[in-house]
Structure 1
Amino acid sequence: MTDRLKLVIFDVDGTLVEGESHIVDAMQQAFAAHDLSRPASADVRAVIGLSVETAVARLSPDLDPATCAAVGRSYRTAFRDIRLSMGAARMNPLFPGIREVLDELAADPWTLLAVATGKSRRGLDALIEGHGLTGLFISTQTADDHPSKPDPSMIAACLADAGAEARDAVMIGDTSYDMEMARAAGVRSIGVTWGAHAADRLAADALAHRVEDLPGAIGSLLGEPA
């Protein structure tokens, strides 16, 4: 074991929890609320991971900023209503095996966990509480306080909160935006293939095809035996 502090940063949607269908539903509701054509499900999945207004602009580049902001507000309202009707844990269940991996990593005193997500603070807090994950993450960074991925701001904040060096950190996510953010921040990356983007889009330092592959991939990238 190394005596250097390690930081493992997780994306949320498509990495820790399921729930793509609810993101698609809320986004389509938001566009319809403004009499705009509903984006195709595949197009919404392609922008999962971006901050809401950035995703809206990507889905409909001709919208003016004010309309983008209004659609973004409608998305948040629609998503909140789904969450309130279902409960955060039922709406976004953890992928099988994720809780066990988080507990295994957290049991190592030299490993700290963090989150960098395009979710809102309200949504992330509800999810963490709903799954009983309170206190597990040293840093939780959301789209409310940072530019959209792939800007490295969220990772920089995670590193500062943890007191960790970029060389000792890894970003785990399911989209190309997570991998680009990791490169911009100078940290390693692991792409998971059970989320929104196909493996050939990820361009990660390592891939994990199963949840149980994560500890070994983390150990390999951060200099420990798998």
Structure 2
Amino acid sequence: MGANARGELTEEVRRRARIVWDYQRLGREPRPCDVAVVLGSHDLGVATTAADLYRRGFFPRMVISGANSPTTLARFPRGEAVHYREHVLSLGVPDQAVLTETRATNTGENLSRSRALLADAGIAVRSVMFVCKPYMERRAYATARRIWPEVEAVCASARTGFDSYLGTVGDDRLVMDTMVGDLQRVMEYPARGFSVPQEVPERVRSAYAYLVGAGFDGHLIAD
């Protein structure tokens, strides 16, 4: 099937998608932090990763943040943070180790509301592990450097490859649209004051343009 079949995962689409995937992942080893902020999304695997990192001793408590977006309302009708919380508790994380922030509707709010929640609870932090979707690591880091610059920011996600990840989510189009939209935000949000700028290599920009042209534009922001 050719590249003109919009929205189809052709081999060329997959090749370009892996370029974006590899760029969006920072590829750094997790290290102990004062707290984790778990970024709600359509992917319940983020909560699974957070529970695993907690059990391995990387942080003593977590803030789970997220209300709903159009892509999560059907999956998590009571809100992303509520469903994530239930999931981490089912995986053995104690209730007292989990704070929940249920109003954030974007990444900037995830961070600013989590920071305020921790401050209100009298919890001082110098380092924060941001647990997110694999292809969101770079945007989470860039947002943290802008909104929460006083803390050391560490990003963590599930250790998996692009093709394997598609199988865990079960909605290829949703993953592709969201991943392409995240890269657009990495490129455009610094000018809007939402994140710090990062170098985007030409091969990544080219892959982005190809994927948009191939029809993966469902999560793009308006000009």
TM-score for the superposition, normalised by structure 2: 0.38
Q: If the length of structure 1 is used for normalisation, what is the TM-score? A: 0.38
